[in-house]
Amino acid sequence: MNYLDTLTWNRREHFEFFKNFSDPYFSTTVEVDVTKAFAYSKENKKSFFALYLHACIKAVNSVENFKYRIENEKVVVYPIINVSTTILRPDNTFGFSYILFDESFDIFNRNFEKEKERVFNSNDLFSAIESEDCVYCSALPWVNFSGHKEPISGFRLESVPKLAFGKYKEKEGKLLMPVAISVNHALMDGYHVGLFFDKYQKALNNVDL
């Protein structure tokens, strides 16, 4: 873990301005093409959720600003970003997970399945690991939404990116899935979000690599 030199950062004024907002997050919802990922999951009997989640975290780790977090008024730079996602239990409650990222889908999927088993066999809401070297994700596979709002605790300055995945729909022979993202404007701008979605789509198109 390193610290960013905000004094020489080309976004220094942006950081100083937005970090003082009571809610510095901005959000958008984008449809991504999951046609290939969905077909691959069915053909190879892989979890569709694990596949598109892995592609998402690959994209997150490829954009530098997604590794920044605000801690004690400083910008921390984490080397690797993992994922904390909600996992639905059979009784329709959910638990938060903490899944270690790996470039290999098979390794990531084993980490996912281990956390899934833990959540299924527990009534706990939180995982044992509490760290900000992650992104927060949730899935709403019942709803094809065009907008989404994430909750903000309001007790401290939050800086972890938040994503939500919706129900895919078929359009012109493609499967399109809405992805909502909320990020702290003190740490990144629309350019970085756009870069993330470019990387995410490429990862979804190459799930078999």
pTM value > 0.85: yes
The pairing of strands 169-171 and 174-184 is: antiparallel
Q: What is the pLDDT along the chain (209 residues), one digit of tens a residue?
A: 799 999 999 999 999 999 989 899 999 999 999 999 999 999 999 999 999 999 999 999 999 999 999 999 899 999 999 999 999 999 999 999 999 999 999 999 999 999 999 999 999 999 989 899 999 999 999 999 999 998 877 666 799 999 999 999 999 999 999 999 999 999 999 999 999 999 999 999 999 87
Residue 126's nearest CA partner among 86, 156, 178 is 86
Q: Which domains does the chain have, with CATH numbers?
A: 2-205 (3.30.559.10)
